[in-house]
Amino acid sequence: MTEPKAVVTGFLQALEELDVDRALGYAAVDIVYQNVPLPAARGLAAVEKQLRAMAKYGSGFEARTHHIAADGNVVLTERTDVLRRGSWQAEFWVCGTFEVKDGRIVLWRDYFDWTTVLASSAKGAGRVALNGARTLIGKYRSSGELRA
C-alpha cells in the first residue's frame, strides 16, 4: 500500500486498535511527529516512545475522520480524536497534516485547540467523579446504610 490516503487511513486505524507495531509499519525511519505547538518528536524511536506511552496509559483511542483530502503526497485530515483511560474520555477536534513518501509517513503534524482539550479532559474527569459518587451512593442504599 503506497497510495498516501490509504497509508494515512491504515495508520489511524492501527492507532485506534492500539496496535503500535502496525502503526509504526506506516512510518518512515526519519518521521517527524508534532502536536503543535509542542516540540517535534524526530525519528522512529522518538515517535515509537510516544505511541507506546499512549497505548500503555490509555485504554482507547478513536479518530473520527470527518474529511480527508490528498494532494500528491500530502494528506489532510479533519477529525475528532477521542482519548480514553478507563471510564475517563476526552473528545476534541484535530486537523492533521501527513506527508507520505514511498508508502511511509515522513511528517505527521496535528493542530488542535488546547482550551478545548483541557475543557474536554475536565468534563471527562467530572463524569468519572459523578459516576463514582453514584456507584458509592447505590452501594450504601442497597446495604441499608443510607436512606433516600
Residue 118 has pLDDT above 90, yes or no: no
Distance CA 41, CA 57 (A): 19
CATH number for 4-113: choose from 3.90.1150.10, 3.30.565.10, 3.10.450.50, 2.120.10.30. Answer: 3.10.450.50
Asked if the model's pLDDT at residue 7 lies above 80, the reply is yes
pLDDT digits (tens, 9 = 90+) for 8-50: 999 999 999 999 999 999 999 999 999 998 899 999 999 999 9
At residue 144, does pLDDT exceed 80? no
Annotated catalytic residue, options 19, 21, 102, 110:
110
pLDDT at 137: 64
Q: Where are the domains of the chain?
A: 4-113
Catalytic residue among 19, 21, 81, 113: 81
pLDDT of residue 65: 96
Q: Within the chain, how many helices (H) and strands (E) appear?
A: 4, 6
Residue 113 is among the residues annotated as catalytic for this protein: no
Residue 30 falls in the annotated catalytic set: no
26 with 96: CB under 8 angstroms? no
pTM of the model: 0.80
Higher pLDDT, 127 or 76: 76
